[in-house]
Amino acid sequence: MPPAPSSILAWEDDPGAPGSRRHPDAQPRPTLAAAPLPVSIDAKAPPAREFKVGSPEFRYWVAAEALARGAQFWGTILPKGTRWHSTNGARLPVELDEDVDLNAYYDRHGLHFFHDTVKGVTVYSGESPDVVCHELGHAVLDGLRPQLWDALSAEVAAFHESFGDMSAMLSGLQLQSLREEVLAETASRLDRSSRLSRLAEQLGWAVRQGHPDAVDRDCLRNASNSFFYTDPLKLPPTAPAATLSSEPHSFSRVFTGAFLNILAGMFRLQKKRDQAALLDTSRDAATILVTAIKTTPVVPTYFSQIATHMISADAATFRGRYRDALKGGFVKHGVLSLQAATSPPSPAPGAEDAPLARIALPAAHLGLPQELFVTAASHPKRFAVTGAAPDVGGTESPGHDDAAAAFLEDLVRRGEVDFNGHAVAETAVLAPKRRKTHEVVREADELVLVRRCIDCGVTLAP
């Protein structure tokens, strides 16, 4: 008789806030080296056994299972030949526990996870499959559409965060046990708040203890929400979690909210509404999303461009089967104005791969001695669509230079820019924030803003 396959224990989506009665499930030993998206954890793999909750060996297998599940899922959806961004290497490096922080980030040299102790509970961001598959989503999207990395636009940055949350939801739905639980919890109405919609309950709890208004009441971010699109240029750079700001995690909730509505609408269209149909729905939604991302030009009004390209992708791939679900979700959250959603469907376009423009922005008000060069979301807009205005009709589309200037000012006001000594100390606002997403570097005679990482934490203290 062949030996029994070695099994490990893993959380499905999250350990849950303290007091949660969740228990880990047995899973087969995950394979991290599988093509086309292999992953490499920085620690030696313990033997494949069912370790005790709370042990480092248990946490290793939880992270490994989530990484393997997410990478395998996206590997079957992405266009052939999609690889990690080259600076990650052939295998995506993962540091499971880098330092003390309530955080996780992706920086083109892999994924980084942390731990911190709050009210006697030590929370490891790498122990939450929600957080792991969110971070993995950043790396997947960077491999698929590297132009998004540097494009200085609030909507582009917010879409990266939304893709992380969509990656967490879609990767979770690859587990039959979670599909069954979510269908039971929502009475098959997937847009209700559930294990699926609530992202990172445990990390959300930990952040809430120190910063009660920084996260949702029951998790880090909830995709079951009623946020309505607002031009991010008209939003403040930060806000309590209950309202919308132009900060990427906050603003991402508009698109993620629409996506959950769309998933729910797509599932309602299945002949038999069971867990197998939910698996098919998750794969179809991911296919529509990825097809759209590949072809959507990088523009300041990125949400509405992606939305229109998703409707085109559905027409081309599924003969418009999901059109009403897509329109319904996008209109409900204002991602598309009613006019944009009711215009006749356009043919599926080819990819827009022109390099983005580098533009000079005035920077004296930031304390810099000369203008600052930035990468703008400068692709020509393909579809003349916009998000909804709060009263009637659509919003105005800002130019890529105005969108870049506004996002730059947001970044400085949130303390996200490391001036690297190039700013005039007497006039610049030099925020003490520990991990900054952007930095100013000198290239020949020019000062240039480059992205350092996509930081997913909500730690507000330095």
Least distance to Zn ion from the beta carbon of 171, Å? Answer: 14
Two structure tokens written together for 82: 């999609």
Q: Cis bond leading into 462, ω under 30°?
A: no
Q: Does residue 129 interact with Zn ion by CB under 5 A?
A: no
Stretch that binds Zn ion, among 86-94, 205-213, 217-225, 453-461 (CB under 5 A): 453-461
Stretch that binds Zn ion, among 214-222, 348-356, 403-411, 452-460 (CB under 5 A): 452-460
Using the minimum distance from each CB to Zn ion, give the nearer residue, 27 or 103: 103
Beta bridge partners of 299: none
Structure-token match 């998004």, residue found: 148
Using the minimum distance from each CB to Zn ion, give the nearer residue, 405 or 456: 456
Using the minimum distance from each CB to Zn ion, give the nearer residue, 161 or 181: 161
Residues 24 and 11: beta-carbon distance below 8 Å: yes
Least distance to Zn ion from the beta carbon of 185, Å? Answer: 25
Using the minimum distance from each CB to Zn ion, give the nearer residue, 134 or 400: 134
Using the minimum distance from each CB to Zn ion, give the nearer residue, 85 or 192: 85
Least distance to Zn ion from the beta carbon of 134, Å? Answer: 6
Using the minimum distance from each CB to Zn ion, give the nearer residue, 299 or 458: 458
Least distance to Zn ion from the beta carbon of 379, Å? Answer: 23
Residues 8 and 29: beta-carbon distance below 8 Å: yes
Using the minimum distance from each CB to Zn ion, give the nearer residue, 134 or 379: 134
C-alpha span between 203 and 213 (Å, rounded): 14
Residues 367-406, one symbol each (x = binds Zn ion by CB under 5 A, - = not), give: ----------------------------------------
Least distance to Zn ion from the beta carbon of 456, Å? Answer: 3
Q: Binders of Zn ion among 57-86, rule CB under 5 A?
A: none
User: Residues in contact with Zn ion, total (CB under 5 A)?
Assistant: 3
Using the minimum distance from each CB to Zn ion, give the nearer residue, 116 or 161: 161
Q: Which residue is nearest to Zn ion (CB)?
A: 456
Least distance to Zn ion from the beta carbon of 286, Å? Answer: 18
Least distance to Zn ion from the beta carbon of 107, Å? Answer: 12
Using the minimum distance from each CB to Zn ion, give the nearer residue, 132 or 307: 132
List Cβ<8 Å contacts ≥24 apart for 232-238.
232/154, 232/155, 232/158, 232/406, 233/154, 233/398, 233/402, 233/403, 233/406, 237/409, 237/410, 237/413, 237/414, 238/413, 238/414
Least distance to Zn ion from the beta carbon of 377, Å? Answer: 19
Using the minimum distance from each CB to Zn ion, give the nearer residue, 167 or 308: 167
Stretch that binds Zn ion, among 120-128, 175-183, 371-379, 448-456 (CB under 5 A): 448-456
Least distance to Zn ion from the beta carbon of 131, Å? Answer: 9
C-alpha span between 253 and 407 (Å, rounded): 18
Sequence-distant (6+) residues with CB within 8 A of 86 are none
Using the minimum distance from each CB to Zn ion, give the nearer residue, 207 or 428: 207
Residues 16 and 202: beta-carbon distance below 8 Å: yes
Least distance to Zn ion from the beta carbon of 139, Å? Answer: 11
Q: Binders of Zn ion among 141-200, rule CB under 5 A?
A: 161, 164
Judged by CB under 5 A, the residue of 78, 166, 288, 456 near Zn ion is 456
Stretch that binds Zn ion, among 32-40, 379-387, 422-430, 454-462 (CB under 5 A): 454-462
Least distance to Zn ion from the beta carbon of 157, Å? Answer: 10
Residues that bind Zn ion (CB under 5 A): 161, 164, 456
